Amino acid sequence: MMRVLFVEASSGGVVGGSLTGLYHLIRGMDRTRFAPAMALYESKSIEADLQAIDVPVYHVHRRRLRKDHALLQYDGYHRAKKSRGVASLLRLGRHGLRLGIEEGPTALRLARVMRHARADVVHLGNGIRANYDGILACLLTRTPCVCHVKGFEKYSDRERWIAPRIDAVICMTRAIEEHCRSHRVCGRRTEVIYDALDEGAFVPQRSAAVVRSELGIENGGPCLGVVGNIQEWKGQTVLVEAMARVVAAVPNAHALIVGGVHRAGAAYHQQLEERIRTLHLERAVSVTGFRTDVADVMNALDVVVHTSVRPEPFGRVILEAMLLGKPVVATAAGGVPELIQDGETGFLTPPGDAERLAERLVALLQSAPLRHAMGERARAWAREQFSLSRHVATMSDMYERLARRA
C-alpha cells in the first residue's frame, strides 16, 4: 500500500479552499491502494473530520518572520529601498533570514515527520513559495514530491532554481500554468489538474425555507449571496455597492455575506459594515459570520455571487453553487472563466464593476425561468467536468508513476 503524506502550510486561522480540496481528494482515495496522512503547520477545525476517516494528522511548527520591523519607521530606510542595489541586498538578506529562521528548521522538522510516516510520495498543497521548506524536506529525504500550485505567486530566482528539482508541479487551472511558464517556474513535469468536489459530501440537510427563516429573511423575496472568508481581495464591498442598485429594481431582494473574518481582514470587515449602514442597506444585506452549514445556506440562495477583485486562481465556491443548481455571477479574472460559460452556465462580470454586477443580478432575480435553466445547465456542466472520481483517478495515477520512478 502506498503512503501519501499531504502537507498543508496555510495560516490565518481559517480553513480555505486549498485544505478543503485536499480533504475531498483524500475522501475519494481508494484505501486498498493508498494510506494518506496529513501534516499541518497550525491547528485546523477540519482535523476531527480527517481523524474520523482514519487519516493521521501531524503538526509541524514553523517560526515565521515578522513582516514589520523597526526600520520601517525611518524615512531613510524607505528612500534607500528605492535604490536597485540596496533593494537587491535587502532581498538577499530577507531570503537568507527566511532560510535560516523559517524554512531550514521547518524542513528538518518536516523531514522527521516524513520519515516517521514512511511517506512514499509527498503532496505539498500550497505552491512553491509557501512550500519551499517542504520541497527542501523532500530533497533531503529523496522523497518524490508533488507541488500543487493554486495561486498567482510572485517568483524570484530561488523559485526558478528549485522548481526543476520538483518531480511534478500541478497547476489548478490553465491560467496558473501560463503564469508559471511565463516566469520560468516549471517542474520536471508541469500540467493542469482541476480540483473537484465530492458531490455526496456537499448535500443540504435543511430546507431553504427553514434556513431563510433562521436568518431572518421572511419577506418571500429573491435572495442572493457571496460565500467566502472576509478579506479585501474577496471584494464583498462590490456586492454591497451593487445592492444599492439592485433594491431599486427589486425592492424585496436580500443579500447574504457569508464567511468568517480572516485575521488580515478585521479592518476590511469594519469598512464593510460601515458601507452597509452608509447606503442604508441594513434590511437588504446581512453579514452572517462563519457558518458550518455552507451547503444549507447556499441552497437557500436564488443566485450565488463571486466578487473577488484580484484574479481568483480557481473559485471552489463557484463549483459548489453549480452542483446545487444555482446560477452564478462571477468575476471574469484568473481561472474563473475556465469554470463558467458566460451566458450559459452563469454570467461573468469585470472585477470591481458594481454596475455590471447589478445588471446581471437584476436580470436573474426578475426571471425565475432564467435562473432555473441556467442553474440546471451549470449543474450538468459541473458534474461532467469536475467530478471527484476523475480528479482522484488522475492524481492517483500520478502518485503511482512517481513512486515507481523513485
Residue 114 lies in a domain: yes
Q: Mark whether 170 and 262 lie in a shared domain.
A: no
* Average pLDDT of span 9-17: 74
Specify whether 94 is located in the same domain as 242. no
Give the pLDDT band of residue 102 (cuts 50, 70, 90): confident
Q: pLDDT at position 200, please?
A: 82
41 lies in a domain? yes
Q: What percent of the chain has pLDDT over 70?
A: 90
Residue 79, in any domain of the structure: no
265 belongs to a structural domain: yes
Q: Please answer whether residues 364 and 374 qualify as being in contact, where contact means their C-beta atoms are separated by less than 8 angstroms.
A: yes
What is the mean predicted confidence (pLDDT) over 293-299? 94
> In what side-by-side order are the strands of the sheet with 285-289?
285-289, 254-258, 223-227, 303-305, 328-331, 346-349
286 and 391 share one domain:
no
pLDDT single digits (tens) 233-260: 999 999 999 999 999 999 999 999 999 8
Question: The sheet that has 145-149: what strands, in order across it?
Answer: 57-59, 34-40, 2-8, 121-124, 145-149, 168-171, 190-192
The three-class DSSP label of residue 229 is coil
Q: Cα(192)–Cα(315) distance, rounded to whole angstroms?
A: 15
**Average pLDDT of the residues of the chain:** 89
**278 in any annotated domain:** yes
CATH number, domain containing residue 6: 3.40.50.2000
pLDDT at 74: 58
- Are residues 218 and 186 part of one domain? no
Residue 80 pLDDT level (bands cut at 50, 70, 90): low
- Domain holding 362, by residue range, is 200-385
At 151, the amino acid letter reads G
Q: Which helix (H) or strand (E) holds 224?
A: strand 223-227
> What is the mean pLDDT of the segment spanning 282-300?
92
Nearest-angstrom CA–CA distance, 291 and 188: 41
- Residue 90 scores a pLDDT above 60: no
Residues 394 and 306 in one domain: no
> Average pLDDT in the 265-286 region?
93
Do residues 349 and 286 share a domain?
A: yes
DSSP reduced 3-state for 3: strand
pLDDT exceeding 90 applies to what percent of the chain?
70
Same domain, 152 and 230: no
pLDDT at 89: 63
Domain count, the chain: 2
What would the pLDDT profile of 142-197 be if each residue is shown by its tens digit?
999 999 998 898 999 999 999 999 999 999 999 999 999 999 999 999 999 998 88
Q: pLDDT tier at 19 (50, 70, 90 boundaries)?
A: confident
Res 21: pLDDT: 84
Q: What is the pLDDT of residue 77?
A: 53
Looking at residue 314, what is its pLDDT? 87
Query: At 406, is the pLDDT very low, low, confident or very high (cuts 50, 70, 90)?
Result: confident
Mean pLDDT within 295-311: 95
Quick check: 386 and 317 in contact, CB under 8 A?
A: no
Confidence band for 87, pLDDT divided at 50, 70 and 90: low
The residue-averaged pLDDT of 255-271 equals 89
pLDDT at residue 306, as a whole number: 96
pLDDT of 347 higher than 60: yes
- Rounded to a whole number of angstroms, the distance between the first and last alpha carbons of the chain is 15
pLDDT value at residue 67 = 61
- Taking CA atoms, 172 is separated from 147, 245, 313, 314, in Å, by 11, 35, 7, 7
Please tell me whether residues 189 and 227 are part of one structural domain: no
Residue 134, pLDDT score = 96
Q: Report the helix count and the strand count for the chain, using DSSP H and E.
A: 17, 13
- pLDDT of 195 reads 87
pLDDT the model gives residue 16 = 72
CA-closest candidate to residue 285, choices 349, 229, 221, 233:
221
253 and 111: one domain?
no
Q: Does residue 158 share a domain with residue 99?
A: yes
Q: How does residue 400 score in pLDDT terms, banded at 50, 70 and 90?
A: very high
The mean pLDDT value for 293-308 works out to 95
C-alpha cell at 363: 436580470
- What kind and span of H or E run contains 73? none
pLDDT for 101 beyond 80: no
Does residue 251 fall inside a structural domain? Answer: yes
Residue 236 domain-assigned?
A: yes
- Quickly tell me which residue has 517568483 as its cell: 155
- Count of residues in the chain: 406
Shared-domain flag, residues 344 and 355 = yes
Q: Give the pLDDT band (50/70/90) at residue 65.
A: low
84 domain-assigned: no
pLDDT at 97: 64
Q: In terms of domains, do 119 and 206 share one?
A: no
> What's the CA gap between 6 and 19, in Å, rounded?
10
Model pLDDT, residue 276? 95
